[in-house]
């Protein structure tokens, strides 16, 4: 287990290092300069050069990269090129929106996927199972932003149950903040839940057809009892794999959902930073997302060994 932990931690660090080089290189070879964007098209070459020196963008790219990495490692994320304000508080405020949105979206997805996948697998020869399987196909076909617009029209505009857009800060009202996130999280979670339900159904069907489960049923166990006692762990391994990938999809989907519901989260901050060519802020956000994705993969590897210890013996 110690060897596994050291090996995986080394892989995580090397992956993040490679990601940082790629992100920095791609963003800095794009045409145009942040100074030119900030000053506008009427700026003189002298003023553009002066601002470039002030921002430290006249230094060699290697030094710029090392300074940026030093800031990341010490959690001093630098100042925005546009506002001149520290990035850390701005990013922290955006995370107060995006983190709960992703977590709630994941919970909605799991609450849909696990029961729907189990029922559609156990009753796959019945009308209820076929209906659930068809419903998940419809859910997969609907983009989350389209679902978000439909929820706004029905729930917010027509029924007036929840706010259509905007976000109430947590400091002002916890209940108001949660109300602001209900429709976005449902929009995010329904589509991901439909996708995950298909994998749950496939995994459970594979377990139901296994010899050991047929033996358990031959000994007098009901299907549900045999599945709970002998099949859940085996079915969980492929589902956990997909769940790790779906979490990455939730983070990406949150960018779109935040735009639909006008939420001041990380996605909205990223889009505005790209439009303003605030490169250091874009780099920090992309590295944050990359770190979350890589750590999620590490967590999935650990869960493998918790669910099925035999995996640790084979690796």
3-class secondary structure for 192-241? HHHHHHHHHHHHHHHHHCCHHHHHHHHCCCCHHHHHHHHHHHHHHHHHHH
As a whole number of angstroms, the longest Cα–Cα distance in the chain is 86
Sign (positive or negative) of CA dihedral 222, 226, 228, 231: negative
Helix then strand count (H, E) for the chain reads 14, 0
**Per-residue confidence (pLDDT) for residue 199, from 0 to 100:** 84
What pLDDT score does 313 carry?
A: 46
> Cα(170)–Cα(176) distance, rounded to whole angstroms?
8
Six-digit token string for 208: 């139901």
Pull the structure tokens for residue 187: 């929009």
Look up residue 48 and give its two tokens. Answer: 């553009």
Ordered structural domains, the chain, with CATH: 97-258 (1.10.3720.10)
Q: Quick one: tokens of 109? A: 């997805």
Q: What are the angstrom distances between the C-alpha of 231 and each of 174, 214, 217?
A: 40, 11, 12
Q: Distance between CA 78 and CA 20 in Å, rounded?
A: 16
Query: Which pLDDT value is given to residue 156?
Result: 86
What's residue 311's pLDDT?
Answer: 57
pLDDT in tens, the chain (315 residues): 567 667 878 888 899 899 889 988 888 777 667 777 777 667 777 877 887 787 777 788 888 888 888 888 888 888 888 777 888 888 888 999 999 999 999 899 889 888 888 888 877 778 877 888 888 888 888 888 888 888 899 888 888 888 888 888 888 888 888 999 999 999 888 888 888 888 888 888 777 777 676 777 776 767 666 666 666 777 777 777 777 777 877 888 888 898 889 889 888 888 888 877 788 888 899 988 888 888 888 887 777 777 665 555 445
What burial letters (b/e) apply to 142-157, b meaning 16+ CB within 10 Å?
eebbebbeebbeebbe
Q: What is the pLDDT of residue 101?
A: 92
Question: Considering the entire predicted model, what is its pTM?
Answer: 0.82
Is residue 307 a contact partner of residue 240, using CB atoms and an 8 Å limit? yes
CA–CA separation, 82 and 80 (whole Å): 5
Backbone angles phi, psi at 171, to 5 degrees: -70, -25
**Are residues 125 and 177 in contact, defined by beta-carbon separation less than 8 angstroms?**
no
């Amino acid at each position: 287990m110690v060897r596994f932990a050291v090996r995986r931690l080394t892989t995580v660090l090397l992956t993040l290092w490679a990601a940082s080089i790629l992100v920095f290189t791609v963003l800095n070879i794009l045409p145009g300069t942040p100074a030119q964007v900030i000053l506008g098209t009427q700026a003189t070459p002298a003023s553009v050069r002066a601002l470039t020196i002030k921002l430290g963008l006249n230094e060699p790219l290697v030094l710029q990269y090392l300074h940026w990495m030093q800031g990341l490692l010490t959690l001093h994320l630098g100042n925005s090129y546009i506002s001149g304000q520290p990035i850390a508080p701005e990013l922290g405020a955006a995370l107060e929106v995006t983190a709960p949105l992703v977590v709630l979206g994941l919970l909605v997805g799991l609450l849909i996927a696990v029961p729907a996948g189990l029922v559609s697998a156990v009753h796959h020869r019945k009308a209820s199972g076929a209906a659930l399987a068809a419903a998940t196909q419809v859910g997969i076909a609907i983009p989350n932003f389209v679902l978000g617009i439909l929820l706004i029209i029905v729930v917010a505009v027509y029924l007036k149950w929840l706010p259509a857009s905007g976000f109430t800060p947590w400091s002002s009202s916890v209940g108001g903040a949660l109300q602001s996130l209900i429709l976005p999280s449902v929009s995010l979670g329904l589509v991901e839940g439909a996708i995950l339900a298909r994998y749950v159904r496939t995994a459970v069907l594979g377990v139901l057809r296994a010899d050991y489960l047929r033996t358990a049923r031959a000994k007098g166990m009901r299907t549900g009892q045999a599945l709970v006692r002998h099949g859940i762990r085996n079915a969980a391994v492929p589902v956990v794999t997909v769940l790790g990938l779906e979490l990455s999809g939730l983070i990406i989907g949150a960018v779109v959902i935040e735009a639909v519901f006008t939420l001041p989260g990380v996605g909205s901050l990223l889009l505005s930073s790209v439009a303003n060519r605030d490169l250091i802020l874009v780099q920090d956000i992309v590295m944050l997302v990359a770190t979350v994705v890589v750590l999620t993969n590490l967590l999935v590897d650990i869960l493998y060994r918790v669910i099925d210890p035999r995996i640790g013996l084979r690796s």
